[in-house]
Structure 1
């Protein structure tokens, strides 16, 4: 007999897991289907293990200031030992995920799902015969897979994607080439260097070119890389890759060669719909392979929604999590919420931590708005001074006519934690007023968000809007 659920979620990454949990908490009978490792890429090969390594990297980097603080000695990290540590963390989180889903009575089904029609899924189990389930609503959360550009091909122990890096312990060898200019390459160039590798960072384009960080933010990143002796070579043409010897030889054209013990590709990801057969459910893909959806995250099939990497180019766990919340809300309330991907935080964990959301000045002007900027640097923050970590700043962009918060960025220590303060207000129009009336701990880095808000209000004549009329 075919089982029937209120909601079927395909994929157990951050978006899929949150959709299943939130659906169950709100009273839906939920099934979640996973064809690989529970937790998806983020838990097993992405955010969680990478953040574990990043914490180690920051500890090593902080030793520059040890002597001034009266701390003697030096730190040396082992990538092999760091790999074992993240594996233990991932295993703990995975078991917690599964226990919580069991507690919520979510049906966790192992296997690969494909659509029979808009209301029916067939699941090919790894250890059982195929089964079918019926679902009143389905959320597609199948994520993405690494993009491997020519002339690269994966070779075990020599040419690795970031996914492969976390599947098995890292290869032997100290000299590592990091390829790419996106978030993953920008993070790994720093992390690998702090974990004891000699990093060669090569890419065709400049770092983070698709993320609208301000020139000031990119300048802070370059300065931080220079302080750690990490060089990024851009404009590189990759002609061929030779893996026949003990290591890897990159041929860059004109007779130039770069040798490394192994390569890590941070060259982006592509949406994963392999075996899903979305067409059988009336779900269409766009020309880049993403699942097409409307502002409510709904596909061409009214009862099917798509979230996260499989449906949008942002490719962050934060977007997947936000999408999941909106999709479940819309399933329950009948499409009452839309998604604005710009308002979801983007965070880069590298030589300097970087976080942003919303519009920059160029975007604001393109929408015929008048941008006003508020700024506060960490160089005078009592908290940052006490941590010997004064690089960075808070930078806010508001509409000069209305005082609405259009966007902002936090560059420096704990940026990934602080950026949430810009997303919690009920709406953009009252966000600055919400910050200005907040009560902040002292001394704390968060105070610089308050300082930037107050500076913006006075500088641009927005006192009544930000502070309220007296």
Structure 2
């Protein structure tokens, strides 16, 4: 006889795990199904190990200011040792995940899930045995897999996807080609260089071209890469890749041959829907292979929702986590909350931290709004000066008529932490007012968020809307 659950979650990445935890905390009887490693890509091969490496990279990068601070000595990094460190971190986090699910009495089922009908899932274990479960609602959170573009082919020890990079210790050799222009490539180019590799960064187009960072933000990134001696060659076409001999030879369209020890591909991801039996329940895919869903994150099957990379072109853990909250809210409330992916923070951990959410000026004008900009630089921040890290700024976009916070970006140290200040208000209409009425520590980088808000209000005549909220 099959078990019955209020909610079945397929996939244990950041979105799936949060959906299961939140569902249990809100009183649902939950099952979570994982066919591979608990924690999914983010924990085992993505955000968590990469952020571990990023912290090491920042420590190495900071030494350029040591002499001026009276600190003597030189730091060097070992990528092999860094790999072992992230393995320990991942194992620790994974165990805490599993323990917390047990504490909440979530049924953790190991195997590949497939829909038999809208309320029935078949789970096949690695030994071939199967079991059926019944679920009133299901959430598809199966994530995505690394995309390998032609003429590249994944080859152990030679051509690695970002997933493969964390499956085993990195290959030997100092000279590494990083391929791609997205978030992963932009981050790894910096991290690898700081961890002692000679980086050759190649891509067909400009870095981060699909993310609407301002020209000022991209200029800061370019300057930061130059300071660290990292060159990005863009507009490159790839003719062939030879892995037969020692190392790898990449032949470009113009005939140039580039010899490296190994290659890391940061060339995007494709949603993972294979084997789910979506056709059996009428769940459809869009033309790009993502699970189709409405603003409530509901698929064509009313009791089945989809979250994270399998359904969202944003493809960030932040969006998966936010999706999970929205989906569980809607399962419990009966679809009362719409998702706005634009309002979820995007963060780049590279030669300079970059974070943004919401609209830019062009998006605002497309919606017939009047954008107003507030700006504050870290170059005069007492906190940033004390850290020898004054690059970057806070840049906020408000609406000239209402004083609403339409969007913003933070570039510089701790941008990934500070960006949350722009997302805490209950709606964008009151976002700037919440910041203006906040109480801030001094000296702190967060003060520049307040300064940018106050500057915007004063410069554009929005004092009543920003400072008068709630009176």
TM-score range, shorter chain: over 0.9
Correspondence for 2:113: 113
Correspondence for 2:136: 136
CA contact (8 A) 2:236 2:253 kept: no
Distance (whole Å) between structure 2 residues aligned to residue 114 and residue 129 of structure 1: 13
| 1:253 to partner: Cα distance | 2.4
Correspondence for 1:241: 241
Correspondence for 1:287: 287
- Name the SS of the counterpart of 2:196 in structure 1: coil
Correspondence for 2:178: 178
| 1:255 to partner: Cα distance | 2.3
| 1:127 to partner: Cα distance | 3.7
1:137-188 CA deviation, whole Å, 9 max, x = no partner? 0000000000111000000000000000000000000000000000000000
Distance (whole Å) between structure 2 residues aligned to residue 24 and residue 384 of structure 1: 42
- Mapping for residues 10-159 of structure 1, pairs under 5 Å: 10-127=10-127, 129-159=129-159
- Name the SS of the counterpart of 2:201 in structure 1: strand
Distance (whole Å) between structure 1 residues aligned to residue 109 and residue 72 of structure 2: 53
- Give structure 2 stretches of 5+ with no counterpart: none
- Mapping for residues 296-315 of structure 1, pairs under 5 Å: 296-315=296-315
| 1:309 to partner: Cα distance | 0.2
Q: TM-score, normalised by structure 2?
A: 0.99
- Name the SS of the counterpart of 2:323 in structure 1: helix
- Name the SS of the counterpart of 2:428 in structure 1: coil
Correspondence for 1:318: 318
1:244-280 CA deviation, whole Å, 9 max, x = no partner? 1110000002321011000000000000011111111
1:368-389 CA deviation, whole Å, 9 max, x = no partner? 1100000000000000000000
- Name the SS of the counterpart of 1:134 in structure 2: strand
- Give structure 1 stretches of 5+ with no counterpart: none
- Name the SS of the counterpart of 2:71 in structure 1: coil
Correspondence for 1:455: 455
Correspondence for 1:208: 208
| 1:128 to partner: Cα distance | 5.8
- Name the SS of the counterpart of 2:374 in structure 1: strand
1:27-80 CA deviation, whole Å, 9 max, x = no partner? 000000000100000000000000000000000000000000010001000000
Give runs of ≥4 in structure 1 deviating > 4 Å: none
CA RMSD after TM alignment: 0.7
Correspondence for 2:266: 266
- Name the SS of the counterpart of 2:226 in structure 1: helix
Correspondence for 1:218: 218
* 2:377 counterpart of 1:381: no
| 1:81 to partner: Cα distance | 0.1
Distance (whole Å) between structure 2 residues aligned to residue 84 and residue 127 of structure 1: 30
- Name the SS of the counterpart of 2:87 in structure 1: helix
Q: TM-score, normalised by structure 1?
A: 0.99
1:418-450 CA deviation, whole Å, 9 max, x = no partner? 000000001111111110000000000000000
Distance (whole Å) between structure 2 residues aligned to residue 286 and residue 130 of structure 1: 30
